[in-house]
Amino acid sequence: MQDRLQFYIDGRWVDPVEAQPFEVIDPATEQPIARIALGGEKDVDLAVTAAHEAFGAYAETTRETRIALLEAIAAAYQERYDELAQTISREMGAPLWLARAAQAAAGLGHLTQAIEVLRSYPFEEVRGTSLIRHEPIGVCGFITPWNWPVNQIMCKVAPALAAGCTMVLKPTEVAPLNALLLAEIFDTAGVPAGVFNLVNGDGPTVGQAIASHPKVDMVSFTGSTRAGIEVARAAAPTVKRVTQELGGKSPNIILEDADFEAVIAGGVMGCAMNSGQSCNAPTRMIVPAARHDEVVAIAKATAEQITVGDPGAEGSRLGPVVSEAQWDKIQGLIQKGIDEGASLVTGGPGRPEGLEHGYYVKPTVFANVRNDMTIAREEIFGPVLSILPYDDEDEAVAIANDTEYGLAGYVSSGNLEHARQVARRIRAGQISINGATQDFAAPFGGYKHSGNGREWGVYGFEEFLETKSVMGWES
């Protein structure tokens, strides 16, 4: 078991002001694999002070200097790519193939995108007689989760560095080891002292201290809607900018003219991917009522072919969920689905057969789900799919939009224009047509209780900029 009890502040590894050891648990074995320290307000203040003092000089660096820095980070990242993937897999349970192909890859994708945006972004332009200037917002506080940890760190850190901001990161205490590796990568790449700082801790202590700190100019949070509300409350007295990427309950509308064999199977796999621990997972499959039984048969066959097992084992498609608390929550919601009268097609409560230890969940499919059932309303964050029938297209769209969330949506049709028409009607921040994959240049973020602000690409970059007008620039 490794000890990682220090924080990264002002370009150095430092001891906490008051050490509070905390064990990091391997969700596949339920055994501790590392100890970190949980920090407090004094640690946050030291980190914010370092970021505040570094901001003036870093904000004045040239575009070319920041591009060179991001390129150095990308090179150092690639040197430790496999170590990052293995760390992610072990501490949060993603199968090693997924950690390599998607989890670690996403971090590099955001770095590459930040460099592309920075190369050509117009920081100044003249409109009429005024200069419109975009300047870095200042010290940024980042609070990130465990489900796609490097992705959600790098989609904040990379554009913030590109924009000229300094920052303090509080990664999740549940899966923090990847963030410590990233701090080492930034240090190797030559990120100036004070520009990037890391303090481990929990949300109510370190997260709250970051959100409420008067010298933090902007806070970007990814996590549950409940926690996001608390971050916004803490930030409100200092009138700082707050961006939030929160929960989701994303609809997956299957239109009558879709290729059912392909899109139903794809929808099941999309819901189960990463053990269902994705805020944009297509968890509500909305299907023509007349073909409900056909859909159920395809979904059942697909789910029952998914191999659940050790994240490091060849052939494991799904690993465990991240923690005992998550496992218990998912089990409770599966039972709720049964109790409220949804038809359990496959899966259900308990661990998969042959897995006595680890936080493993059976890939579960419910049919004949109504949109007022708990499993159709609440974010389960596990490999649990709800199939909801509709009678006509208007009802399908109404079901899709009848949710407090609005992060993502999915539409499948054999006719692209038909899919486009339905996609326009879904009230969510990112819609995928016919299984389109993620685009790092496209904005990511939600409507309603799924948050505010956008990440990724130029839209994410602009969250880290203030806009100034200088009137009388032209006579």
How many other C-beta atoms are found inside a 10 Å radius of the C-beta of residue 382?
26
3 state SS of 140: strand
With respect to residue 427, please indicate whether it lies within any of the assigned structural domains: yes
CA distance 381 to 358: 17
pTM metric for this prediction: 0.96
242 lies in the same domain as 255: no
CATH number at residue 188: 3.40.605.10
Cβ-contact 143, 220 below 8 angstroms: yes
Number of separate domains in the chain: 2
195 and 115 in a common domain: yes
Same domain, 232 and 259: no
Sheet order of strands, 218-222 included: 12-14, 7-9, 196-198, 166-170, 139-143, 218-222, 241-245, 451-452
Phi, psi of 460 (to 5 degrees): -65, -40
- The reported pLDDT for the residue numbered 268 is 98
Mean pLDDT by 10 residues, the chain (475 residues): 96 95 98 98 98 98 98 98 98 98 97 98 97 98 98 98 98 98 98 98 97 98 95 97 97 98 98 98 98 98 98 96 98 98 98 96 98 98 98 98 98 98 98 94 97 97 98 93
Q: Are residues 344 and 230 in the same domain?
A: no
Catalytic residue among 140, 165, 271, 279: 279
pLDDT of 1: 84
**140 and 217 assigned to the same domain:** yes
Inter-helix orientation angle 416-425/393-401, to 10°: 40
Q: Are residue 69 and residue 172 in the same domain, yes or no?
A: yes
Residues 454 and 319 in one domain: no
**In the annotation, is 140 catalytic?**
no
pLDDT for position 19:
82
Catalytic (active site) residue 155: no
DSSP-derived letter for residue 291 is G
Residue 301 and residue 275 share a domain? yes
Of 91, 165, 173, 245, the catalytic one is 245
- Would you say 250 and 454 are in contact if contact means Cβ atoms under 8 Å apart? no
| Cβ-count burial 326-344 (b if 16+ within 10 Å, e if not) | bbebbbebbeebeeeebee
CB half-sphere exposure, 182, CA atoms < 13 A: 29
| 94 and 171 share one domain | yes
Q: Verify that 319 and 458 share a domain, yes or no.
A: no
- Specify the pLDDT at position 351: 97
Residue 115 lies in a domain: yes
Indicate which CATH number applies to the domain containing 352: 3.40.309.10
Q: Which domain holds residue 462?
A: 2-246+449-470
